Amino acid sequence: MMVLSITDQHKPKCYLCQEMFDNMEALRKHQETTHKDFIEYHRKKHDYSPAPGDVTLF
Ligand SMILES: [Zn+2]
């Protein structure tokens, strides 16, 4: 099971501020800066999925 094809289907959107990005990398960087505290909190909570790249599935 792969979940890496999200960027080809639609632009990823930040579920925290509803801002859209060209790709998952841009979204990831946005969240790791703008929402740093929130992302780190969820990383510890969901330590089985260290990458915040699948946030659009929340
Ligand atoms: Zn955001």
Interval between CA 2 and ligand 1 midpoint (Å): 24
Q: What are the pLDDT tens digits along the chain (58 aa)?
A: 555 555 456 889 999 999 999 999 999 999 999 999 988 887 887 665 555 565 565 5
Q: Write phi, then psi, for 4 (nearest 5 degrees).
A: -95, 0
Interval between CA 53 and ligand 1 midpoint (Å): 13
Model pLDDT, residue 50: 54
Alpha-carbon distances of 46 from 21, 23, 54, rounded to whole Å: 23, 22, 12
Interval between CA 48 and ligand 1 midpoint (Å): 22
Model pLDDT, residue 40: 86
What are the sequence ranges of the domains in the chain? Answer: 11-48
Model pLDDT, residue 10: 80
Beta bridge partners of 13: 20
